[in-house]
Amino acid sequence: MNRVAGWRPTGVLLAAGVVLVLAEAWFMVGLTRPTPQLVSWVAAPPAVGLAVRACWTTSTAARLAPATRRFWRHIGLGMVFIGLGGASNGVDMILGRVAPHHVSGVTAVVYLAGLLIMLWGLLRIPGAQRSRGEWLRFGLDTATVLVTVITFAWHFIFRHWERWSGGNATGTWAVLALVATGSVCVFAFIKVAFTGTGPLDRRALYLLALSGGGGATGGALTPLLTDRPHLNGTPVVLPLTCFILCLAADRQRRAAGVEPPAAVRRRRRPLVPYLAVFATGMLLLVDAANDGDDVVGVALGTVVLVLLVAGRQAAALRDNAVLLDALDSRLRELEAYQQTLAWQATHDALTGLANRRLLMQYTDDVLRAGQDTVAVALIDIDDFKGINDDLGHAVGDALLSAVATRLSQLRPADGLVARLGGDEYALVFCADGEQRARQVLAGLTAELRRPLDAGGHALVVEASIGLALSPGGPQDVTGDELLRRADVAMYEAKARGKGRRVTYEPSMDQHSAEQARTAADLRIALDTGQLRVYYQPIVRLSDGCTVAVEALVRWQHPQRGMIRPDLFIPAAERTGLIVPVGQWVLTEVCRQAARWRDELGADALQYVSVNVSPRQLREAGFAAQLQATLDGAGLQPHHLTVEVTETAVFDGGSGLEELHQLKRLGVQVALDDFGTGHSSLGLLRTCPVDLLKVDKSFIDNITDQGEHSVIAEALIGISNGLRLRAVAEGVETEAQAEVLRRLGYRYAQGYHFGRPMPAEQLPAHICGTAAAVS
């Protein structure tokens, strides 16, 4: 913490000290014998000039706050007026215009102007800003000081003024007014120093109070010099007050740049009014006991003081009542705020449902009761991200709230619905058994499929639900464990397709753990280059020539060897790793296809086909990212075919929009595993398809005269009618290939034509099939 610089005597301080010593010395001489009055007044002008200079220097200090500089300008201006008053007083005394020790009306007005300017400057500082109630109490305290000073000064000094000075009433009241005003200034400086100085230095204010106190005391003691008409109190008091004022200004400059201590607003007990009443009351008692001749005056002062103190107490009581009302209102606000915080700690802000914390507390309470089977269902809205991306977050939030409302309406009477975050909800209820729990969830699923109003959109949602049950009676299982089991079952439901309900079984833990380990290893594999791209030929059935390839990702694990996609793609889909894995595959395939076109020339493949997952397709900006990949590899868009499943685009949304953007770029679109998904023929009108890939399940038994042959024939008829190319997948025998030729298929792929192979083996395979054709 910064400290105030050490004190060093400055030129102004030394000069002011010298003037003070000379003035005091001359005054002491005047006490012993008569001295010329002109000499007595010589020290006053330089003392005032030095004080004004000290104030001006402080008011221009760059490191002081603007409010502090303004305050010291007021003090300096006030000293100018006091100096003018002193000059007027000195001229009057030297020329004999007034009686000794008296003050003319003009001089008194100038003195008072200087004191009031100082007081105004003090009350303008930021630390002295007050409320209306504080101003009222300050005014009453000031009046109390004023009445007390006048009472005591009158009793001890000024009521004898006429006897001392010959009956000049004007001078008496002028001096009395100056003494009273000076005392008020002293009181104000001290009170502000105690209650808050703002940017001012506290010790500097104490010195200013001491300076004012010296001036008021000197004025009050002036009548004591009536037996020495050649002496006057002003020439000795003014250098003293100016010297102390120079000390205060010096202290303020040395404190420049030092952070003032934080003002602590404490409600101190007001001692000044009580001390004033006590002192005046004691004076009245003493005067009455001694049969004094001023009992009436002191009694009058005492009555006025009692009235002022009573008024102050009334104002304080009123302020206290206001404070109590404000405190009561604040306490009510705090209570309401605490209730709001308590609600927010246990509820979801968007939907108003219980949050995970309240859900766990409720579940544990029900489990401890041990009466019924406790069912925990974890509900995840399918394809919510697509809705958010297509319609915006406002509609997404409205949908979450609508789902929450419907779930709340459908929950059993003893159940609790909670939102866990994102598009995940949980339902906890007591059930008589698994059958009852399944019935509740079946009704819930059916109701969720009814249109929901979300921001002006009628939306139909599907939900994947995982169910976990606890046996009835006291159990060691916790709410956390039941929720974990429901989570495992929910992911199993998602793996089986949309809108599924799965009940937890212990065997799922092993499968879930394996998927978690696989996902962790897959992240390492992606970062360390363990993934490989293999290519399976797509041939022209008429001559067996390879015209295209399908890219298939493989995982070369350092310990487990080559891992098939069906063992790690589900884990990638569940964890979201499918997005970076899919992007890596696209980048590798585009680069490899460009290299083949450079190497093979006229024998190059017509296109390379790449599978894109539904989650990858719904990523915002997928089409733009693919265009950047093509540009980076130097591959023309029509040499790439993107394969998607029916389920990825059946519900429309962002995935379908991305496909339209790809089509506009020139990328070809293939519908993979056609006939095994939703099998909606309307999809062929809305989806920008160039190629149908007929699933292997329709090819396996195509040589038998039965339904598979009929379906295969119908599919080639549909593709021809819509002017689409068709590729038969999974062809393993020549007999199957012959049937496909007879049905009108032109392209096929399968082990009969070639297994998936590394990129470096494919050119030889292409050349071999081309040579066989020729």
pLDDT at residue number 268: 52
Q: Collapse the DSSP code of 392 into the 3-class scheme (helix H, G, I; strand E, B; otherwise coil) and give the result.
A: coil
178 pLDDT band (50/70/90 cuts)?
Answer: very low
671 pLDDT band (50/70/90 cuts)?
Answer: confident
pLDDT at residue number 310: 67
Tokens representing residue 650 in the block:
């059946």
180 pLDDT band (50/70/90 cuts)?
Answer: very low
Mean pLDDT over the full length of the chain? 78
For 293-303, how does the pLDDT look when each residue is reduced to its tens digit (9 = 90+)?
555 565 666 66
Please name the helix (run of DSSP H) or strand (run of DSSP E) that holds residue 363, with its range, or none. helix 356-369
Q: Is the pLDDT of residue 431 over 60?
A: yes
pLDDT at residue number 137: 65
- Distance, CA of 94 to CA of 36 (rounded, Å): 9
Q: Per-residue DSSP letters for 611-664?
A: E--HHHHTSTTHHHHHHHHHHHHT--GGGEEEEEEHHHHTT-THHHHHHHHHHH
Residue 162 CB-half CA count within 13 A: 5
For 16-65, what is the HEC assignment? HHHHHHHHHHHHHHHHHCCCCHHHHCCCHHHHHHHHHHHHHHHHCCCCCC
End-to-end CA distance of the chain: 94
Give the pTM: 0.50
> Nearest 5 degrees, angle CA 454-CA 457-CA 458?
90
* Separation in Å, CA 725 to CA 312, 663, 690, 744: 100, 16, 7, 11
Q: Return the closest-CA partner of residue 691 out of 667, 663, 719.
A: 719
pLDDT at residue number 640: 94
Q: Is the pLDDT of residue 465 over 80?
A: yes
For 186-207, how does the pLDDT look when each residue is reduced to its tens digit (9 = 90+)?
444 444 544 455 567 777 777 7
Mean pLDDT of 390-407: 88
Q: Is the pLDDT of residue 280 over 70?
A: no
232 pLDDT band (50/70/90 cuts)?
Answer: confident
Residue holding tokens 């319609």? Answer: 391
Kindly report which listed range (482-496, 670-684, 756-770) carries the lowest average pLDDT score.
670-684
For 28-50, how does the pLDDT look when each residue is reduced to its tens digit (9 = 90+)?
887 777 878 777 788 888 988 99
677 pLDDT band (50/70/90 cuts)?
Answer: low
